[in-house]
Amino acid sequence: MDDKRNLHMKVQELCDCFATTDPLREMSLLFKDQDKDEAALKWLALATLHAVNNGASKISLIKDKDGEISVLAKYREAELPSPGTEIGEKIIEAVRRITHLEGGKGKEPLALGIRNDSLEIKVKVQKEEDKEFIELKFPD
């Protein structure tokens, strides 16, 4: 992946690029992408767009001890399509690099420009013995 600043800019560009699409549909097709690093950034952009369009307050990405990835959105406890193990790993890596949260746990705001507006997402990362969490909390 490119340097941290470029990852952040790329996610913003992808938000703009996918702003008029159906984020859930696009997320469900990411497993076909050959470039898994790019797919991870697309997933972050699509998750953000989904949250904005559907009123999600929080999206959590959870990696269990076996490396399986699951995703939960908080609004009406819906499970989003999993990006799969390989892309899920890249999402965790990208979020940690963009936010500089490369240790066991931490919190950091992430500002994203989407079209003519901006959004501040509160990012929380936490690593336990057998699980790793990435939580994206969206403003009300």
pLDDT of res. 40: 93
pLDDT of res. 5: 58
Q: What is the mean pLDDT of each run of 10 residues along the chain (140 residues)?
A: 71 92 92 93 93 87 90 73 88 88 85 83 87 86
Instruction: Say how far apart CA 52 and CA 93 lie, in whole Å.
Output: 23
Report CA dihedral (119, 35, 31, 42) to the nearest 10 degrees.
Answer: 10
pLDDT of res. 4: 54
Its CATH architecture, for the domain 4-137, is 2-Layer Sandwich (3.30)
pLDDT of res. 35: 94
pLDDT of res. 1: 44
pTM of the model as a whole? 0.72
Instruction: Say how far apart CA 110 and CA 137 lie, in whole Å.
Output: 10
